[in-house]
Amino acid sequence: MEYKHILFEVADGVATITINRPKALNALNSEVIGELKDAAARCKTDEAIKAVILTGAGEKSFVAGADISQMAELRPQQAMEFMEAGIETFRMYEVLPKPVIAAVNGFALGGGVELAMSCDIRLASENARFGQPEILIGLIPGWGGTQRLARLVGMGRAKEYILAGGQIDARRAYEIGLVNQVYPLDQLLPEAKKLAAKMANLPGFALKMAKHAINYGYDLALDNAMRLETECCSQCFSTDDQKEGMKAFLEKRKPVFKGK
């Protein structure tokens, strides 16, 4: 697929996907969602890609939400289709068997924070601002915000942000655990690339298992979740990388992982 609204680059095992509609503050219309979906499938199947970064073009916005001009006249059925396309696409990043980092370079509002919350790790620039302002335009979050925000920051705070539609800055987002780290804007992408490169060189199967156990264990009863962890962990013992990692430790040398 040729991309009109996103940039897709792969270097050193890391795919960087840049949402590129800076004039609309990188708002997500159905075309962008379609391209993001295609890019997620590419990231999943391309074995050269070991980690993924999602970011926005420009210095002002990661993603300022779903495209309001496209949504304004939708009927409920059409809205449902737009919602389902977003939900499916965001979930592809959430369960991608490789780490996904959101590099949040400015506004992450509505669908923007929902996309970031579907990533494994959120790094933010100091100028980033977060919020679920849907209520201000007569809506509620429709791409996972009511669920993922509550899971990340607790129900009380999620209700505060969703019911009042306010924004918080990067520092506050860090304090409440919505973002993992905050950097000056010019250091955000280099730091995201550094972290992605580090993970790209770690044993890929173990990364996949770790993500699987966290994603699918989170909503299970603890005993069932522990069983899932046991299955995922035991499968790592079938890989060359586990053998190499432990052998290298015992021989006091650096491991050479093959990704198998």
What residues make contact with ligand CO8 under the rule CB under 6 A?
24-25, 27, 64-69, 71, 79, 82-83, 86, 107, 109-111, 133-134, 137, 139, 142-143
Least distance in Å: CB of 45 to ligand CO8?
Answer: 27
Instruction: Identify the active-site residue in 35, 114, 244, 251.
Output: 114
Least distance in Å: CB of 108 to ligand CO8?
Answer: 10
Instruction: Identify the active-site residue in 84, 88, 126, 134.
Output: 134
Q: Is the distance from CB of 65 to CB of 109 less than 8 angstroms?
A: yes
Q: Would residue 35 show up in a list of annotated catalytic residues for this protein?
A: no
Task: For residue 217, count other CB atoms closer than 10 A to its CB.
Answer: 17
Least distance in Å: CB of 123 to ligand CO8?
Answer: 20
CA separation, residue 64 to residues 79, 130, 167, 199, 223 (Å): 18, 9, 12, 28, 40
Q: Would residue 114 show up in a list of annotated catalytic residues for this protein?
A: yes
Q: If residue 216 lies in a helix (H) or strand (E), which one and from where to where?
A: helix 204-217
Give 5's DSSP letter: S
Nearer to ligand CO8, 131 or 204 (CB): 131
Nearer to ligand CO8, 99 or 141 (CB): 141
Residue 104: HSE in the Cβ half-sphere, 13 Å Cα cutoff:
37
Give catalytic residue positions. Answer: 114, 134
